[in-house]
Amino acid sequence: MFTGIITDVGKIAELEQRGDLRARVSTAYDTSSIEIGASIASDGVCLTVIAMGEGWYDVEISGETVSKTNLAAWEAGRRVNLERALKLGDELGGHIVSGHVDGVAKIVKMTDEGDSTRFTFEAPEALAKFIAPKGSVALNGTSLTVNEVDGCTFGVNIIPHTKEVTTWGDAKEGDLINLEIDTLARYVARLSEMGG
């Protein structure tokens, strides 16, 4: 489990297509404190560490994961939002995030409002019903609050601090973004479908 509070911005150092896609991620994390098999959310995708060295770790990414996320667009040099899995006693600053991406949203508009930027996203129709004003979403692994919803589009305000400490400062219109809907919203919708 994760919180959606990004704790490092890593960089894709290498990509290699074997049976699965293997990626080497450069990081400021103390890799001596990471164990093989640990989960690290990378742009919101829960990936398992399979090898590591000083300042880097490797992950293997299945074809299924690549097909459901924006990881097909990864290339060497790309910056990625990173978050290590929660430990008992960690502060829960964002919302509960599983790292299981539900789909890909697209940035359709960016508007500066004061020092912040209002992002408008288009979500897949099947996921839009789970997104509610003042609810939470994880976008590229970042816990964000939804401002408004209009059909399949929704808006989020991103403050300067978030743009500085994540990859949101690099974002541009047309970018594809990993979207994880709020777990609670998913279950509430499921219960209402069942008449519960």
Sole residue written with tokens 């049976």? 19
Residue 89 placed within a domain: no
State what percent of residues in the chain have pLDDT above 70: 98
In the chain, the number of structural domains is 2
What are the tens digits of pLDDT across the range 38-91? 999 999 999 999 999 999 999 999 999 999 999 999 999 999 999 999 877 777
pLDDT at position 196 is 53
Amino acid 118: pLDDT: 97
pLDDT of residue 57: 98
- Is the separation of the CB atoms in 21 and 180 below 8 Å? no
CATH number of the domain where residue 13 is located? 2.40.30.20
- 136/58 same-domain check: no
Long-range CB contact pairs, 54-58, < 8 A, 24+? 55/26, 55/27, 55/28, 55/31, 56/13, 56/24, 56/25, 56/26, 56/27, 56/31, 57/24, 57/25, 57/27, 57/29, 57/31, 58/22, 58/23, 58/24, 58/25
- Is 3 domain-assigned? no
Q: Say yes or no: 74 and 117 in one domain.
A: no
Looking at the fold, whether 107 and 189 belong to one and the same domain comes out as: yes
Is 108 in the same domain as 187?
yes
Residues 59 and 112 in one domain: no
In a domain, 163, yes or no: yes
Whole-number pLDDT of residue 86: 85
Query: Within a 10 A sphere around the Cβ of 30, how many other Cβ atoms?
Result: 9
Indicate whether 131 belongs to any domain: yes
Residue 8 pLDDT level (bands cut at 50, 70, 90): very high
> What number is the average pLDDT over the span 128-142?
94
- Residue 104, pLDDT > 60, answer yes
The answer on pLDDT for 187 being more than 80 is: no
User: Are 111 and 183 found together in one domain?
Assistant: yes
Same domain membership, residue 121 and residue 188: yes
Over residues 121-145, mean pLDDT = 95
| H-assigned helices in 4-132 | 63-68, 125-128
CA distance 109 to 122: 9
Residues 35 and 71 in one domain: yes
The two three-digit tokens of residue 25, written as one number = 């991620």
| In a domain? residue 98 | no
% of the chain beyond a pLDDT of 90: 84
pLDDT at 123 over 60: yes
pLDDT tens across 140-180, in order?
999 999 999 999 999 999 999 999 999 999 999 999 999 99
Query: How many angstroms separate the Cα of 75 from the Cα of each of 1, 2, 23, 63, 72?
Result: 26, 25, 9, 16, 8
Last residue of a domain, one of 36, 51, 84: 84
The range of the structural domain enclosing residue 187 comes to 103-193
